[in-house]
Every structure is written in C-alpha cells, then in structure tokens.
C-alpha cells in the first residue's frame, strides 16, 4: 500500500501532480485518484487507500474547501491522525480543519526548497518515516535513513533564590520553544507537554521511548542586580551524550542576544541549517528593551495563572503592560496582552472605560500578524455590534496567524459556543486545554459541550482533567474562586456530590463577587446535583448584576436546559433582558 495519499480538488490537479512527483523523488510511495482502477467503486477504493496511508496530504484551496470529497477525505485523515495540510492559495482550511497547522504554499511552483514544503516534508517524515531516495545508482550503497529531530525544551530552572522570578525563567523557556518551532527541519514538543515535566526528575531514555523525543534542552536562569546567568545543555536522549553546552553571564540587556545564540547553537549542534526567513523570524523580538520584556513576561504569567473571572487579575495585567509600553511604546505584544485583559474588564465586569479595541488596533498597526489582537476585534464585533459573521472572519484570521495560540483557540471555541454550535466548539476547547497545562476553564467547557452532544464518557474525561487542574490551582491559591466553581461542577459530574457541595459553600465564602464563579456553581447545582431550587436561588442573587455577555450565555448554555421550563427561570431571564434593553435605550 502507499505511504502517502493526496487529496485535492480537480482545478488543482496540476499542483497535485507536481506534489506527487516531488514526494516520489524523495522516495515515498504516493497514491492519488489518477490511479483508480476501472473495475472498482470509487468510494470503496478511496476509503481503503486513506485507511492504509501513513500520511494524507490535503491540498486546500477555495475550490477544495467547496468539495465534499476533499472535506470527507480530510475528516477521515483527521480522525486517524494522519492529516498533513497545505494551502495552495493562502486561504484558511474550512472548520474544523483550521485548528490544525497548515503549510503555506501560495504561489508554489514545485520548488522543494520552499520553507512551506520543508514543513510538509517534516510532517510527513514524522508520520511515515524518512523515505529512502528513489532509484539509487547501481552499486552505490543506500544511505542510512535519517531520523527526524524531535526536541523537548524542559522548563529552565529558576536559580534566582526568589520564587517571584519564576515568571522570567518560564518566559525564557517559552520563547526558546517558540524560536525553535520556527525551524522547519525540527519538531518541537509543545509547551504544555514540556511544562508537564517541570520540577520532576526526567529520565531522557524514558522521553525517547514514551514520547519519541530525540533531544532535550535543559538549563537554568539566575537573574539579579541587572545581570542574568543562563546555563544550557543539549542532550541526545538515545546515547545520553551531551552534544552542546554553554554558560552565558551578561548584562540583562543582552537577554535577546543570548536567546538567539542558544537557538542557533542548537541548530548547529544538530547539523541543520537555518533558512534566511527562519533566521529573521528567530531574531524578531518586538522590543529592544530588556526592562519592557521582563515586564511583559511578568504580565503574561499573571494572565495565564491568575483567577479566571477575577477583575483583580486583569487589573494587574493592564497595570504591568502600561508600564511596559511606557518604556517601549512600540512593543506590540504588550499592547495585545493589555487588550486581552481590558477586554475581560469591559465585557465581563462592565468596565466600559477600558478601550480594548484601541489597544488591539495599536498592536496590529505595529505588527499586523499578532493573532490575539484579531480576537479582540472579533469580541467587539460580536458582543457590541452583533456582527457574528464579521467576528468569525476575524477569528479565522487569528487561527491562520496563530493556530498554536491558547487565546486564539479559546476565542474560536467561545464564539461557536455562544452560537449554540457545541460540537464545532469541541476541537478548539480541546486544543486550548492541550496548549496550556494550567487551564481548567477549557476542559470545564468541554464537560458542557460533550454533555450537550450526549457523549457521557467525553464529559467525564474532561471532568477529570478539570478537577486535577482546579485542585492544583486551589492548592497554590486557596482564594481562587474560579477554580473552585469549575471544580465543583467536575466533582458533581464524577459522582462526588458531598465534596461538590463543600466546594460550593467554600467558593461562596471566598469569592462571592466573582459572577463567573457564581454562574458555574449554578451549572453544577443544575446538571448533576439537580438541586433546582438552590440553583434558581443562586441565579436570582446575581441576575440583576449580569451583563449582556452573561445573559446571552444563560440563553444558550445547555447546562441550564433543565431549568428552562421553570416559570421562575423564564421570569429571571426576561427581567435581565428588559433591564439591559432599558439601559441600551438610555445610552
């Protein structure tokens, strides 16, 4: 059977032929539908070939997106985990395939040196193995197959003697992961997997065996008195040998140069070569100020680890980002992060003076490729202007620019959820949960989505993840009301009713002003505990404080379906809608 199946729309047949020949020249056995036998059913052969293929290469274009055959073939490959995607015209693959990375080959003429083609070959090598060159010269020894380099950047250890500096060592680790991900010849283990090893004694041979990791980068960071010391080493997991090591002891202002040097040293140690575009991408930092950069890392740590739905977290992020952009007014990433926090303050906490849109527009003016800023525009379009189709366009742009962005995948999922498209929201919540190991909100939302489509096992699996993450969050911060709220729902789903009720009581004592938490407690009381009277009492206690976003959520959330036939519930929702309509009329 063939190593590779190629799926394409008929108008793209010429490029499909070029791609097939390039893959055959690389030594792969390739099949496409020009080889259909005359005596068998088309659908039967296609299904057989897709199931047998180690990699299914889908050539997306505007025509392919309209083809039901291409969509069906892509869906079968997605389910099998063999999907490799190429965009021939720059268009984003249709949902749900746009949540998977797609190589950009717009304007491709068959040049196998193109960065996009290198990325395709890397993905195929990971799925199908590295092929032997076709037709070696007579008498010539066949070259040994080369193994794809799979690198895990373990979180650098904070050696500063101050746990408050943890954000800096984590930020350095994240940036090196991001830098190396830009090298098409490398496969880089995702952040969430790498950070799952934080603080653990990691056996490199186990990483090789269980995760197919070939190399590990580990190190430490010490930051004090305007100086930074970074130790780093690259280990071959198979042999245990150290391939490269170095120590950098410099002024903090040299932090960007150090990161560039580490990334380039790893590429050199692995005997790879950076393409010019990759070198330029690695060297792009967005700011030349080490002070602004340090503040940005601090703000991001608060953003990803703070209490979801707690305005104090968002205030801290805005305050730190304002300081960063005061130092460097052209720091686009700081503007975008500030916009995310401002958006939470505006839409969750009715802080209408927070102009997140202006901050997002400023970020995009400085860097049009920042995906998170497009998410802010999407939220304004949907929430304030009711333009869901235009919001969807912004989200699709964000997904194209940042398919591996935690924030982007969460916003895509939220938009679909608010439209009542639970099944379509699932892949994006799944991706968000996988991208951030501390995120208990995304698996909490998955619990709802799977429940809505009748997938009880999916809901329980999501509940276990939610509970484990919520327990960690509460252990680190006992006042984390958001984690208590979602944890209570997870406990109820898993049949631990008494413990769920204890978490509910604790949450109401600790964070009564967190409306998002209160809402999640209503869901816990409704779905599994089935204490409808208490759920309605709790809902009534904050119905008059709900803003438009939360009232909309109440109307579409399947967790509350059991309450919808209660006259009291209908009266509460109608009261909230009338209050908001009156406020709009006066505005």
Kindly provide the residue ranges of all beta strands, DSSP E only, lying in 115-182, ordered along the sequence.
149-153, 157-158
| Measured distance CA(329)–CA(223) in Å, rounded | 25
Whether pLDDT at 144 is above 60 = no
pLDDT in tens, 204-259: 777 877 777 889 999 999 988 889 999 999 999 888 888 999 999 999 888 888 98
CA 378 to chain centroid, in Å, comes to 17
Whether pLDDT at 365 is above 90 = yes
SS (H, E, C) 354-377: CCHHHHHHHHHHHCCCCHHHHHHH
Block residue for tokens 């679909």 = 416
Give the CATH fold of the 4-128 domain.
Rossmann fold (3.40.50)
pLDDT in tens, 381-412: 988 888 888 988 998 899 888 888 889 999 89
Report whether 429 contacts 441 (CB < 8 A): no
CA 456 to chain centroid, in Å, comes to 25
pLDDT computed for residue 140 by the predictor: 43
The domain at 149-285 falls in which architecture? 3-Layer(aba) Sandwich (3.40)
pLDDT computed for residue 43 by the predictor: 58
User: Domain-by-domain residue ranges, the chain?
Assistant: 4-128, 149-285
pLDDT computed for residue 321 by the predictor: 97
Residue from 407, 353, 406 nearest 379 by CA: 407
Q: Classify the phi-psi angles of 76: left when phi > 0, otherwise alpha if psi is within -120 to 50, otherwise beta.
A: alpha
Whether pLDDT at 319 is above 90 = yes
pLDDT band at 145 (very low <50, low <70, confident <90, very high): very low
pLDDT computed for residue 361 by the predictor: 95
Query: Strand pairing partners for 55?
Result: 4
Report whether 70 contacts 58 (CB < 8 A): yes
CA 225 to chain centroid, in Å, comes to 35
CA 261 to chain centroid, in Å, comes to 27
- Cα within 13 Å of Cα(149), Cβ side: 23
* Reported pTM: 0.68
pLDDT computed for residue 35 by the predictor: 53
What average pLDDT does the chain have? 85
Torsion, Cα 460 465 467 468, to 10 degrees, reads 140
Whether pLDDT at 135 is above 70 = no
The whole-number average pLDDT for the span 31-59 is: 69
Report whether 47 contacts 33 (CB < 8 A): no
Whether pLDDT at 109 is above 80 = no
Q: Which residues contact 360 (CB under 8 A, 6 or more apart)?
A: 335, 336, 339, 373, 374, 376, 377
């Amino acid at each position: 059977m063939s190593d590779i199946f190629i799926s394409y729309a008929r108008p793209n047949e010429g490029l499909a032929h070029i791609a097939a020949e390039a893959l055959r020249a690389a030594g792969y056995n390739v099949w496409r539908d020009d080889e259909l036998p005359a005596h068998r059913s088309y659908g039967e052969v296609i299904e057989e070939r897709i199931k047998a293929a180690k990699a299914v290469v889908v050539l997306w274009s505007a025509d392919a997106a309209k083809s039901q055959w291409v969509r069906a073939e892509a869906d079968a490959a997605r389910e099998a985990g063999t999907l490799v995607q190429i965009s021939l015209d720059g268009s984003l693959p249709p949902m749900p395939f746009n949540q998977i990375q797609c190589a950009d080959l717009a304007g491709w003429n068959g040049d196998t040196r193109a960065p996009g083609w290198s990325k395709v070959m890397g993905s195929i090598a990971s799925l199908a193995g590295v092929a032997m060159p076709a037709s070696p010269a007579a008498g010539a020894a066949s070259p040994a197959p080369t193994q794809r380099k799979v690198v895990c950047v373990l979180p650098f250890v904070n050696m500063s003697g101050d746990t408050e500096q943890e954000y800096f060592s984590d930020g350095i680790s994240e940036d090196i992961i991001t830098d190396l991900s830009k090298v098409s010849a490398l496969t880089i283990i995702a952040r969430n997997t790498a950070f799952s090893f934080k603080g653990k004694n990691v056996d490199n041979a186990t990483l090789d065996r269980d995760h197919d990791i070939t190399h590990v980068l580990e190190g430490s960071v010490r930051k004090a008195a305007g100086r930074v010391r970074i130790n780093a080493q690259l280990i071959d997991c198979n042999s245990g040998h150290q391939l490269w090591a170095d120590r950098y002891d410099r002024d903090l202002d040299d932090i960007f140069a150090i990161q560039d040097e580490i990334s380039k040293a790893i590429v050199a140690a692995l005997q790879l070569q950076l393409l010019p575009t990759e070198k330029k991408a690695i060297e792009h930092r967005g700011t030349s100020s080490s002070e602004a950069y340090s503040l940005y890392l601090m703000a991001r740590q608060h953003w990803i680890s703070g209490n979801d739905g707690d305005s104090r977290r968002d205030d801290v992020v805005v305050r730190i980002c304002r300081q960063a952009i005061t130092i460097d007014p052209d720091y686009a990433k700081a503007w975008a992060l500030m916009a995310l926090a401002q958006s939470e303050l505006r839409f969750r906490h009715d802080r209408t003076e927070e102009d997140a849109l202006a901050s997002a527009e400023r970020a995009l003016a400085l860097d049009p490729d920042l995906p998170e800023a497009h998410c802010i525009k999407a939220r304004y379009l949907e929430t304030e202007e009711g333009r869901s189709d235009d919001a969807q366009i912004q989200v699709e742009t964000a997904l194209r620019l940042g398919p591996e962005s935690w924030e982007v995948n969460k916003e895509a999922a939220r938009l679909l959820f608010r439209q009542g498209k639970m099944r379509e929201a699932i892949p994006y919540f799944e991706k968000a949960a996988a991208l951030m190991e501390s995120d208990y909100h995304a698996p909490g939302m998955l619990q709802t989505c799977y429940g809505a489509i009748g997938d009880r096992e999916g809901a329980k699996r999501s509940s276990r993840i939610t509970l484990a993450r919520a327990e960690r969050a509460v252990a680190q911060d006992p006042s984390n009301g958001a984690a208590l709220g979602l944890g209570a729902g997870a406990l109820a789903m898993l049949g631990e009713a008494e413990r769920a009720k204890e978490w509910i009581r604790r949450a109401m004592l600790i964070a009564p002003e967190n409306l998002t938490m209160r809402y999640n407690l209503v869901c816990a009381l409704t779905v599994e505990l089935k204490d409808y009277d208490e759920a309605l009492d709790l809902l009534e206690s904050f119905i008059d404080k709900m803003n438009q976003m939360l009232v909309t959520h109440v109307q579409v959330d399947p967790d509350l379906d059991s309450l919808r036939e209660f006259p009291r519930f209908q009266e509460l929702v109608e009261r909230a809608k009338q209050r908001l309509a009156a406020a709009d009329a006066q505005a």
